[in-house]
Amino acid sequence: MQTRRLGRSGLTISEIAYGNWLTHGSQVEEDAAHACVRAALDVGITTFDTADVYAGTKAESVLGRALAGQRREGLEIFTKVYWPTGPGANDRGLSRKHITESCNASLKRLQTDYVDLYQAHRYDSSVPLEETMTAFADLVRQGKVLYLGVSEWRAEEIAAAAELARELKVQLISNQPQYSMLWRVIEAEVVPTSEQEGLSQIVWSPLAQGVLTGKYLPGQQPPADSRGGHATVGGSMKGYLTDDVLTRVRELRPIADELGLSMAQLAIAWVLQNRNVAAAIIGASRPEQVHDNVQAAGVQLPAEVLTRIDRVLGDVVERDPAKTSRG
């Protein structure tokens, strides 16, 4: 497993991170989730990403149990705060109250005294940024959080938070955006600002929720046992499951074959070519998916391959920097 430094910090993480959005506590049974975590550990993944809102807090609990007994110093555990986790008016957002209470609850579910990275899951325009950053800084000083990150923040929001972090003498070192061959909205503004401010990207959905594996075919219904065919989570994929997108994705297969890579490995390797990306988050419902995906670590794609990919995908790529995942 290759490693990279996260932002302008001393924290080293595995360039393939294991995430449990849409899987642990919902799509897969707990024994299958534990098997996937064991597979991740076996192949050298040390970085694990979750959030309090995943599966209504169940995902954190499953991950905590799956990692129980592992050497804590050998792991980097990341989680997030923002979305509602209860019915109260304060059970949401980035107020001091919600951040503090959510962090304490996450630590209990994860069975750890601290998290390596605590991330603001979205930007909260209803709360002064000073309140949010001061609450985060206090958690750092209490030893409950080592580093700070954000997720799906716009460039100007990242710059403002980074300035406050410097004033508070804490380290804001990462952004977690959606990023893939098909979704490149961070490239124009977020990546240049992050490089200037000392943040790296930890990217989610490098496989475009499985579309870039090539499992979905134009003119056909998604397989019943796939994410696209799932009654609940499949709805978030509708924008990708068009004949135009799926036809273009299918044309990537010869490129992957020539390189001796699976489609998934090609897609993950592609996001890792961006020098501002510290890690690509993979999810899995079966251990063999972990073993396949992790082989993208360390792969270098020649410039001509990147050009061919751009030519194949053409205008189905989303590049508009205004389209961060706010929903």
**Catalytic positions, written as ranges:** 54
How far CA 310 is from CA of 218, 253, 270, in Å, comes to 20, 14, 11
Question: Angle formed by the axes of helices 58-67 and 96-110, to 10°?
Answer: 40
- Give, in degrees to the nearest 5, the angle at Cα 38 between 33 and 44: 130
Tell me the C-alpha distance between 176 and 202, whole Å: 5
- Cβ distance 173 to 78 under 8 Å? no
* Token couple for 114: 């601290």
Q: Which residue type occupies 117?
A: L
Q: Of 232, 134, 240, 237, nearest to 182 (Cα)?
A: 240
Decide: 118 and 145 in contact? Cβ < 8 Å. Answer: yes
The alpha carbon torsion through 137, 116, 178, 81 (nearest 10 deg) reads -50
- C-alpha 213, offset from chain centre: 17
Secondary structure (3-state) at 171: coil
Q: Looking at this protein, which amino acid is placed at residue 275?
A: R
Q: Residue 124 is inside which H or E element, if any?
A: none
Q: What is the CA radius of gyration of the chain?
A: 19
The three-class DSSP label of residue 151 is: coil
Which residues does 125 contact at the CB level (< 8 Å), separation at least 6?
A: none
In this structure, the strands spanning 172-175 and 200-203 are: parallel
